[in-house]
Amino acid sequence: MQLQLSRLILSCVLASFVGVSAALPIDGNALGNVIARTAEPPLLPLARRAMSGRQPRHLRSDYPSKVKRDGPDLGGIATFNGDPQPIRGPLGDTFLSASNHAIDEQNIDNLAVPPTDAGTCYTELEMEHVTLAHEALRCRLAKAFSAVEIRISANDDRELHWHRMAEWGYVLGGSGRITAVDEDGRTFAADIHGPTNTSDATIHYFPPGVPHSIQALDDGLELLLVFTYGDFDEVGTTFTVADWLARTPLEVVAKNLGVNVSVLAGIPQKDPVLFKSTVPPPADISQEIVTSPAGTVPMPFFFDLNTQNRTVAPGGGGWLKVQDSATNFPVATEFASVLINIEPSSMLELHWHPTDEWIYILSGQGRATAYAGATNARTFDFQEGDTAVFPMGYGHYMENISPTEPLTFLALFNAPRFVDFSATQLLALSPPPLVADMLNISTETVTSLPKEKQFIVA
């Protein structure tokens, strides 16, 4: 058994940009004139800390300076040619000691802070990789959500269990079979599968309390599970049948089931969590379904993303597939979800939601700035396997920073309906003189803004 633990916590930032200019690829660009330049740029916070030799390099602590911007950030991303340093254009200085360059390169905006970042914006990103006999990987973050990535070997099972909260699942790879029994004894079973080159994956949803099983089929199963509660490991969160019976006097179990206590002599005394199947599941799912006198569940706990057409974003630059209980996945009252594909160099527009948002990067490279209100903002870089939370109301975008590769990710909301507010739409549909005065731009510019929500802009 191997145990591997990798944890990354990105904490507070209070960036200091007094009289600072931005590092931007703006040669010959008239916009460059708006950037104020100073003779002696101050060091970025990380370089100062590196020189003091004290703090861990990947934690950015409070920085006691006033935030002042002389010019806008025009979107330049620091590049290092394989040698990441806390430098952005004319700002910052080189490390004077060793650094974890693999982490630095994945988090350039943490290493060389963009001048739009400001204030005390606290965000936590925590990932735990646990390799057990059946290779389970867990990640947990934020208050409203927890997530588990689980790998089940071919034909093996996850024991019957239920949760205090709703469960939402997406198959990352392989295939499996899920079953459930609802409060009226109605049954449910479905085969689930991961994405292939030509098809999208399946998702599933189990309401709080509904007991279910998960089994891998013969190609194995890797599953992303997300829950509407922040601490998956807290006592009182997940309940498993075998564990429960082992914690109950055996005579009581025998009496309850109406069987001789002797037939129960071998039940497991340790929670099996995952276990081997003695008989592989039949290829035809109908051969495995136990017929219930109450019939089957009226609303399936399962949604095949292949049955849904892509919605091409009005703004171009990509497509979305939205699932929620209000439109196409009626049982999923506590989770709305979106599969988003952003073309190279395109961007999910500036927007916000009235609930928390949890994201999981399936592939590609992204960059987002979370705006927390009151002059607080923080920029993050993402690659596949990363997760993040945009808390309720936080303004944000998601840019595909790869010029060649699409950016694909899942966005989840603890809500019955997918709702988002567009900054462009807000500006386009508010009185033009008000917007023009507020932003010191012309009314022509305001009236040229699209009134239809763009979602993604090319």
Ligand X SMILES: *[C@@H]1O[C@H](CO)[C@@H](O)[C@H](O)[C@H]1NC(C)=O
DSSP state of 151: E
SS3 helix, strand, coil % of the chain, rounded to 5? 15, 30, 55
User: Shortest Cβ distance from residue 328 to ligand X (Å)?
Assistant: 9
Residue type, 370: A
User: Does 33 sit near ligand X (CB under 6 A)?
Assistant: no
Task: Exactly one of 234, 251, 288, 452 is catalytic; name it.
Answer: 234
Binding span for ligand X by CB under 6 A among 22-30, 305-313, 377-385, 419-427: 305-313
Whether residue 343 lies in the annotated active site? no
One of 49, 60, 151, 158 is an active-site residue; which one?
158
Q: How far apart are CA 276 and CA 159, in angstroms?
A: 10
158 catalytic? Reply is yes
**Member of 309, 404, 444, 448 binding ligand X (CB under 6 A):** 309
Question: How far from 131 is each of 3, 140, 147, 173, 271, CA to CA, in Å?
Answer: 5, 15, 16, 17, 18
- Single out the catalytic residue among 60, 177, 204, 212: 212
H or E element: which one contains 318? strand 318-323
Hey, what are 8's tokens?
């990354």
> Given the complex with ligand X, which of 289 and 439 has the nearer CB atom?
439
For residue 60, give the nearest of 119, 106, 14, 115 by alpha carbon.
Answer: 14
Is 262 among the residues that bind ligand X (CB under 6 A)?
yes
For residue 388, the tally of other CB atoms under 10 A from its CB is 23
Distance from C-alpha of 137 to C-alpha of 150, rounded to nearest angstrom: 6
Residue with smaller CB distance to ligand X, 197 or 278: 197
| H-helix or E-strand spanning residue 244 | helix 241-246
CB of 117 to ligand X, least distance (A): 22
Q: Find the catalytic residue in 167, 334, 343, 349.
A: 167
- Count of residues interacting with ligand X (CB under 6 A): 7
Residue 260 binds ligand X (CB under 6 A): yes
Alpha helices, H only, 289-441: 423-428, 432-439
The window from 47-55, 307-315, 339-347, 401-409 that contacts ligand X (CB under 6 A) reads: 307-315
Phi, psi of 361 (to 5 degrees): -85, 120
| Helix/strand/coil for 442 | coil
Beta partners for residue 152, in sequence order: 221
Instruction: Find the shortest distance in angstroms from Cβ 263 to ligand X.
Output: 8
440 binds ligand X (CB under 6 A): yes
Interacting span for ligand X (CB under 6 A) from 53-61, 266-274, 306-314, 358-366: 306-314
Looking at 163, 353, 367, 378, which residue is catalytic? Answer: 163
Does 193 qualify as catalytic in the annotation? no
Q: Reply yes or no on whether 167 is catalytic.
A: yes
Strand partners, 176: 192, 216
Least Cβ distance, residue 432 to ligand X (angstroms): 16
- The secondary element (H helix, E strand) that includes residue 322 is strand 318-323
Q: Which stretch binds ligand X (CB under 6 A): 70-78, 171-179, 283-291, 303-311?
A: 303-311
Q: Minimum Å distance from CB 129 to ligand X?
A: 25
Question: Whose CA is closest to 422, among 397, 440, 390, 391?
Answer: 397
Query: Annotated catalytic residue: which of 161, 204, 351, 396?
Result: 161
Question: Does the footprint of ligand X cover residue 197 (CB under 6 A)?
Answer: yes
User: Which amino acids are annotated catalytic?
Assistant: 158, 161, 163, 167, 212, 234
Using CB under 6 A, list all residues that contact ligand X.
197, 260, 262, 307-309, 440
